[in-house]
Amino acid sequence: MIVDYALYQNGVRYTQPSNLAELIQKARSDGGFVWLGLAEPTENEFNKIIGDFKFHPLAIEDAITAHQRPKFEEYPGVQALVLKTAFYEEKGSQISTGEIFCFIGEHFIVVVRHGNGAPLVNTRHHLEGNPEQLAKGPYAVAHAILDHVIDCYIDISIELENDVLQVEHKVFGDTRESASQEIYLLKREVIEFRHAIDPLLSPLQHIASIGARNIPTELTPFFRDTLDHLSRASDAASGLDALLTSALQAELAQVQLQQNSDMRKITSYVALASVPTMIAGIYGMNFDTMPELRWEFGYPAVIGSLLVITVVLYRKFKKSGWL
């Protein structure tokens, strides 16, 4: 469905009511550009709405089916920028992703949105309050959308960092509660986050360094600044991924150490019990002729020997750290 559309001339919104086709024609004849926003259009809706733009069939297919990697492609008369949006659900520490397609021509920009994350409600109002920036054309809109999406990446990286710190405290804390499942689930969310960030680096580097058709030279520094923000978000996500990997390895190492400690304790107690069991078993045999059977101090000597041997073994195990 259509979210909003308008004609902008010299950075100012054209206020006369008109349909989309008339606004496109006016932009081509009198200058300016049309900004059209769509939200999850069906194939029929999209084909009906953008018939006047004459998009390439592959661009239309990408916009309808979604599930594309972040990329920048140039078709005859139009450039396509695909962004992955991300939304952090604090309750479940989960990341939901969506997509934004920006189709940019000389006199138009069509923004197609799929899914949640990085809402663009205030982006149009913010740009309309800055006519000087908006007067630079459709790529000023593309930059504002890109900048907003990347700012959301940075906010999400901060939230994920807090979650990773909590997991670290849990792994290296005094509790014996396992954090393996929590680490795995959080690592999965970080990987999902990186799938949105990392593929965008290459196309944005291309735009910021080489540029593309119709990009005003005065916008190039803005795209370079956005690239710097994206690189920071990418580095943060990469660092969090490495931290989670290290935390998982530390968690597994601690589990193994704890298992070894438990086995040492079990072995020590078995050894403490084995000597009395052996001696009691020997003297429990039903033979008529055995040494010390009729010795007056036989019973106290055996009990005393058991106690002495047990105490000696206990002190040895305690000293070696097995108990």
CB 109 within 8 A of CB 136: no
CA 31 distance to own-chain centroid? 42
Domains along the chain? Answer: 2-254 (3.30.460.20), 264-320 (1.20.58.340)
Three-state SS annotation for the chain: CEEEEEEEECCEECCCCCCHHHHHHHHHHHCCEEEEEEECCCHHHHHHHHHHCCCCHHHHHHHHHCCCCCEEEEECCEEEEEEEEEEEECCCCEEEEEEEEEEECCCEEEEEEECCCCCCHHHHHHHHCCHHHHCCCHHHHHHHHHHHHHHHHHHHHHHHHHHHHHHHHHHCCCCCCCCHHHHHHHHHHHHHHHHHHHHHHHHHHHHHHCCCCCCCHHHHHHHHHHHHHHHHHHHHHHHHHHHHHHHHHHHHHHHHHHHHHHHHHHHHHHHHHHHHHHHHHHHCCCCCCCCCCCCCCHHHHHHHHHHHHHHHHHHHHHHHCCC
Which pLDDT score is estimated for 287?
A: 63
Neighbour count for residue 189 (Cβ, 10 Å): 22
Phi and psi for 290 in degrees, rounded to 5?
A: -140, 145
Q: What is the rounded CA–CA span in Å between residue 83 and residue 73?
A: 12
Do residues 59 and 69 lie in contact, with contact meaning Cβ atoms separated by under 8 Å?
no
Four-point Cα dihedral 173, 174, 179, 183, nearest 10: 10
Task: Return the pLDDT at 213.
Answer: 66
Q: How far is CA 130 from CA 13, 123, 214, 258, in A?
A: 11, 11, 21, 62
Contact 118, 86 (CB under 8 A): yes
Digitized pLDDT (tens) for each residue of the chain, 323 residues in all? 778 888 999 989 888 877 888 888 888 888 899 998 888 887 787 777 776 677 777 777 777 777 788 888 888 888 889 999 888 887 767 888 888 999 898 888 999 888 876 677 788 888 888 999 999 989 999 999 999 999 989 999 998 898 888 888 888 877 767 778 888 888 888 998 998 899 999 989 888 876 666 788 888 889 999 999 999 999 999 999 998 888 888 887 777 777 777 787 777 777 777 777 777 777 776 666 666 666 767 777 777 777 887 787 777 777 777 66
Dihedral, CA of residue 145, residue 151, residue 152 and residue 158, to nearest 10: 170
Closest Cα to residue 247, out of 145, 179, 310, 309?
179
Given a contact cutoff of 8 angstroms between Cβ atoms, the answer to whether 111 and 35 are in contact is: yes
Alpha-carbon span 166 to 218, nearest angstrom: 44
Token pair 């054309």: residue: 137
What's the rounded Cα separation, in Å, for the pair 234 and 226?
Answer: 12
Give the chain's mean pLDDT.
82
